[in-house]
């Protein structure tokens, strides 16, 4: 079988050369916005070029870094620099440099909103300086000092540095714009430490654990937040559902500007959300060209944020944000509606910059679409997918489970915790997992239950997750034997499942964070295969009920899933104290994709009959695939929405499966 992997031109052989996630060395003459070689290949005709050239030829007006509504002066400076960089016509360079210098000093006198005003404008001037090669010593000194000095009199945010990386960074549009301008300046100045500080903040937007200084700005924020309290608040929501609406990806402090949670969001919230998008999109692009995985960072936080905006059709709310969809479509592979980009705040002309470019660039890792996952054209690959998560789970069930199954498991399709531990049980007992809505059963699921005729149905989670009324509906649809297994929270539900289905003396137990889904998801197939439970813990400690259950189980080995950032070193030490150092192993990688690959390497020898692949950005497809993966003794590997991480490629090549099954549709 290995001979197949030697075939020339293999898709995954390309992926094996993917660059690491950290910063890459750029060519000495590369620009901070994009490689020079790409810029000089952009067109000098067409409507986007005409608009850019028109902006470069326009009068600039008066510079004022303390005027948060000033767009014309930085617009003309950036446009002139772009036209110069593309054409080499020195008159545009001279004009751009004159405008850059004219803005110097206009940060005085200081105004209350000085940080917001400068954050909205500075990036355009910095990009213009880089595009024109302008590095006058006095300008460099001014810029370096501007990052740290007081420029506003706001009660909390008074300098760019403080707003980006201080004890209480801004979780809103102020923070987005400040992050973009700070990152542009740090890149221009060659300040690697500054870039790293900005990168940490960027990643932390969607993860409260990465930065302790986030806090909601008012009570309305918490009504929109997925966080259960101010203590674990993050500016960009994780997965949660309120009143049947997914709030995954919401910029909490901005969408709440229209007031407490209501759907659809109010106009003010829509407007402020797009303000934040302007800053974060530019910051992401600047990190991307520095070699960071900005568009895939932290559970693809910007892809989730983009999907949230699409859920209420919030794109192109005002002309100031017309440039954002062009970047989003280019980097995330979406099809958001576009308008002629123009100039927003601090950046623009993206229809010219991105409209005709391919997604990959010489400085970026090549991307591989999910359909091209096979290491060799001779290895069959199939995709099992439906129109949504509910129909995908049904399609998986129809593929692998015949009628009269002994059991079928029912989990909510809008959140992950209860289904995580249930996936391992489903794999052990040979029953499918079907997804339903919190208060209703989709018609396609009803039909599948009638086909399956399960001996019994097990509902995963309490009535706060799946309503009490579903029990009678499920009995009518599939089986008169309906059982609910749930606890007070996700951790208690996992313990209850373990007690119900696993006897003492299990061969293994898997311990994973309950705060996110990928690590437990990657192990669910293994756990089902070896007949071991998955127990969930908070990131920082072992709960007493989990410790009690582990003592009862007396596993021969305990596997800790994920790094110390998700299951703490303290928790691992407590497990070692319980079971001995030789009986506790941590399986972890640099991210969720590498962790799933590490699980696969530990439990699966080469020459697999099948390997399953699912997106690592969301949970439903892999949850439904866990049971068949356990039955067929195949791993579940996670991939990004737009490419296969290098470590996953290596693992697929090692496994050399007879076939690859892709779980879910192409709209990852």
291 and 435 assigned to the same domain: no
Sign of CA dihedral 595, 599, 605, 608: negative
Instruction: Give the span between the Cα atoms of 490 and 468, in whole angstroms.
Output: 18
Q: Which of 592, 623, 540 is nearest to 299 (CA)?
A: 592
Half-sphere exposure of residue 208: CA atoms within 13 angstroms, side-chain side: 20
pLDDT tens digits for range 350-403: 999 998 654 433 233 223 233 344 444 456 889 999 988 899 999 999 999 999
Last residue of a domain, one of 327, 354, 381: 354
pLDDT the model gives residue 378: 55
Q: Is 275 in contact with 175 (CB distance < 8 Å)?
A: no
Asked if 656 and 2 count as a contact pair (C-beta separation under 8 A), the reply is yes
* Distance, CA of 263 to CA of 98 (rounded, Å): 48
State the average pLDDT over residues 597-616.
Answer: 91
Tell me, yes or no, whether 407 and 514 share the same domain. yes
Residue 188 lies in a domain: yes
Judge whether 23 lies within some domain.
Answer: no
Report residue 538 as tokens.
Answer: 């908070």
Give me the residues paired with residue 111 across strands. Answer: 152
In this predicted structure, what is the pLDDT of residue 144? 93
User: Which has the minimum average pLDDT: 53-57, 263-267, 422-426, 432-436?
Assistant: 422-426
Dist. CA 600–CA 521, nearest whole Å: 12
Place of tokens 């446009």: 79
| Least-confidence region, from 90-104, 127-141, 280-294, 344-358 | 344-358
Both 344 and 375 in one domain: the answer is no
Number of structural domains in the chain:
2
Nearest to 279 by CA among 247, 261, 253, 259: 253
Final residue belonging to a domain, choices 315, 330, 354: 354
d(CA 31, CA 431): 55
In terms of Cβ atoms closer than 10 Å to its own Cβ (0-12, 13-18, 19+), residue 499 is middle
Q: What's the rounded mean pLDDT across residues 419-433?
A: 88
Q: What is the mean pLDDT of residues 221-245?
A: 87
Residue range 2-27: average pLDDT? 33
**Distance separating alpha carbons of residues 174 and 164, to the nearest angstrom:** 9
- 433 with 321, same domain? no
Both 268 and 381 in a single domain?
no
Residue 394 phi/psi, 5° resolution? -65, -45
Per-residue pLDDT for 3 more than 50? Answer: no
pLDDT tens-digit map of 150-194: 999 998 999 999 999 888 899 999 999 999 999 999 999 988 888
pLDDT at 666 (0 to 100): 67
The 10s digit of each residue's pLDDT in 476-505 is 886 779 999 999 888 999 999 999 999 999
CB 599 within 8 A of CB 647: no
Burial of 578 (0-12, 13-18, 19+ CB in 10 A): middle
Shared-domain flag, residues 292 and 203 = yes
Q: Is 362 contained in some domain?
A: no
Whether the model clears a pTM of 0.75, i.e. scores above it, the answer is no
Kindly state the percentage of the chain with pLDDT values over 90.
62
Question: In this structure, are 183 and 284 located in the same domain?
Answer: yes
312 contacts 258 by C-beta, under 8 angstroms: no
pLDDT score, position 431: 92
Q: Is residue 333 part of a domain?
A: yes
Range of the domain at 255: 33-354
Q: What is the mean pLDDT of residues 287-310?
A: 90
573/649 same-domain check: yes
Tell me, what DSSP letter sits at residue 586?
E
CATH number of the domain encompassing residue 49: 1.50.10
Coil, helix or strand for 382?
A: strand
pLDDT tops 70 at residue 5: no
- Alpha-carbon gap, residue 120 to 136, rounded angstroms: 23
Out of 89-98, 126-135, 148-157, 409-418, which region has the weakest mean confidence (pLDDT)? 409-418
Closest CA to 279 of 128, 175, 379, 161: 175
Q: At 424, is the secondary structure helix, strand, or coil?
A: helix
List pLDDT tens digits, range 249-265: 999 999 999 999 999 99
User: Is the residue at 24 inside a domain?
Assistant: no
Q: Which of 32-36, 343-347, 370-374, 592-596 has the highest mean pLDDT?
A: 343-347
Q: Which contacts qualify for 3-9: CB closer than 8 Å, 24 or more apart?
A: 4/375, 4/376, 4/378, 4/379, 4/656, 5/375, 5/376, 5/653, 5/656, 7/376, 7/377, 7/378
Mean pLDDT of the chain: 87
The first and second tokens of residue 421, run together, are 């531990």
pLDDT at 410: 94
pLDDT reading at 326 higher than 60: yes
> 490 CB contacts (<8 Å, ≥6 apart)?
417, 418, 420, 514, 536
Instruction: Give 542-573 pLDDT, tens digit per residue.
Output: 999 999 999 999 999 999 999 888 899 999 99
Task: Evaluate whether 614 touches 663 at the Cβ level (below 8 Å).
Answer: yes
Choose one of 354, 379, 402: the last residue of a domain. 354
Residues 392 and 459 in one domain: yes
Report d(CA 615, CA 517) in Å as an integer.
12
Instruction: Please indicate, yes or no, if residue 360 is contained in any of the structural domains.
Output: no
Q: If you ran DSSP here, which 8-state letter would residue 68 be given?
A: T
pLDDT score recorded for residue 229 = 77
Helices then strands (H, E): number in the chain? 27, 14
In this structure, the answer to whether residues 186 and 330 fall within a common structural domain is: yes
Q: Is residue 557 in some structural domain? A: yes
Same-domain status, 374 and 349: no
Q: 């520095």: which residue's tokens?
A: 290
| Residue 241 within any structural domain of the chain | yes
User: Dihedrals φ, ψ of 432, to 5°?
Assistant: -75, 160
Burial of 8 (0-12, 13-18, 19+ CB in 10 A): exposed
Distance between CA atoms of residues 522 and 599, nearest Å: 7
CA of residue 275 relative to chain centroid, distance: 20
Q: How far apart are the C-alpha atoms of 172 and 378, rounded to whole Å? A: 50
The reply to whether 412 and 329 lie within a common domain is no
Euclidean distance between CA atoms 421 and 546, whole angstroms: 13
């Amino acid at each position: 079988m290995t001979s197949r992997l030697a075939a020339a031109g293999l898709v995954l052989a390309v992926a094996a050369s993917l660059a690491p996630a950290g910063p890459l060395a750029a060519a000495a003459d590369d620009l901070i916005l994009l490689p020079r070689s790409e810029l000089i290949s952009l067109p000098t005709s067409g409507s986007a070029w005409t608009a850019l050239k028109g902006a470069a030829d326009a009068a600039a007006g008066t510079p004022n870094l303390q005027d948060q509504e000033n767009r014309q002066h930085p617009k003309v400076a950036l446009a002139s620099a772009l036209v110069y960089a593309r054409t080499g016509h020195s008159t545009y360079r001279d004009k751009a440099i004159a405008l850059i210098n004219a803005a110097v000093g206009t940060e005085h006198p200081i105004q209350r909103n000085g940080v917001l005003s400068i954050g909205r404008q500075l990036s355009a001037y910095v990009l213009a300086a880089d595009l024109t090669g302008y590095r006058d010593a006095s300008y460099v000194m001014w810029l370096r000092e501007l990052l740290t000095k007081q420029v506003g009199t706001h009660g909390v945010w008074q300098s760019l540095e403080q707003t980006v990386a201080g004890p209480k960074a801004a979780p809103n549009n102020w923070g987005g714009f400040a992050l973009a301008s700070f990152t542009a300046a740090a890149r221009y100045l060659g300040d690697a430490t500054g870039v790293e500080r900005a990168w940490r903040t960027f990643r932390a937007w969607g993860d409260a654990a990465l930065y302790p200084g986030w806090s909601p700005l008012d009570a309305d924020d918490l009504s929109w937040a997925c966080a259960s309290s101010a203590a674990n608040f993050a500016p960009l929501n994780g997965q949660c559902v309120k009143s049947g609406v997914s709030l995954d990806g919401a910029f909490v402090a901005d969408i709440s500007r229209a007031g407490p949670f209501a759907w659809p969001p109010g106009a003010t919230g829509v407007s402020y959300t797009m303000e934040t998008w302007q800053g974060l999109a530019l910051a992401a692009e600047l990190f991307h060209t520095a070699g960071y995985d900005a568009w895939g960072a932290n559970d693809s936080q910007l892809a989730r944020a983009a999907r949230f905006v699409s859920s209420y059709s919030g794109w192109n709310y005002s002309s100031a944000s017309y440039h954002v969809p062009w970047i989003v479509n280019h980097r995330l592979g979406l099809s958001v509606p576009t308008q002629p980009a123009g100039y927003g705040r601090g950046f623009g002309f993206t229809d010219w910059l991105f409209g005709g470019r391919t997604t990959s660039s010489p400085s970026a890792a090549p991307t591989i679409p999910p359909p091209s996952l096979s290491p060799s054209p001779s290895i069959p690959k199939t995709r099992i997918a439906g129109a949504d998560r509910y129909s995908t789970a049904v399609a998986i069930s129809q593929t692998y489970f015949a009628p009269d199954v002994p059991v079928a498991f029912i989990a909510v399709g809008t959140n992950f915790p209860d289904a995580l531990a249930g996936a391992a049980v489903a794999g052990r007992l040979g029953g499918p997992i079907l997804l339903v809505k919190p208060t209703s059963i989709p018609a396609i699921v009803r039909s599948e239950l009638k086909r399956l005729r399960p001996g019994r149905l097990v509902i995963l989670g309490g009535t706060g997750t799946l309503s009490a009324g579903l029990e009678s509906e499920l009995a009518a649809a599939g089986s008169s034997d309906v059982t609910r297994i749930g606890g007070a929270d996700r951790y208690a539900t996992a313990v209850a499942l373990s007690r119900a289905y696993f006897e003492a003396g299990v061969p293994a137990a898997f311990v994973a964070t309950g705060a996110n889904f990928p690590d437990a998801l990657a192990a669910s197939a293994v756990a089902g295969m070896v007949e071991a439970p998955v127990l969930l813990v908070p990131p920082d400690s072992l709960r007493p009920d989990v410790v009690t259950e582990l003592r009862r189980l007396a596993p021969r080995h305990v596997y800790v899933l994920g790094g110390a950032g998700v299951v703490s070193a303290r928790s691992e030490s407590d497990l070692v104290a319980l079971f001995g150092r030789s009986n506790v192993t941590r399986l972890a990688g640099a991210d969720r994709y590498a962790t799933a690959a590490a699980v696969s390497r530990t439990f699966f020898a080469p020459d697999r009959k099948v390997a399953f692949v699912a997106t690592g950005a969301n949970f439903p497809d892999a949850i439904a695939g866990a049971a068949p993966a356990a039955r067929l003794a195949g791993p579940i590997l996670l991939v990004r929405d737009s490419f296969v991480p290098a470590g996953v490629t290596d693992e697929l090549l090692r496994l050399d499966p007879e076939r690859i099954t892709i779980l879910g549709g192409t709209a990852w």
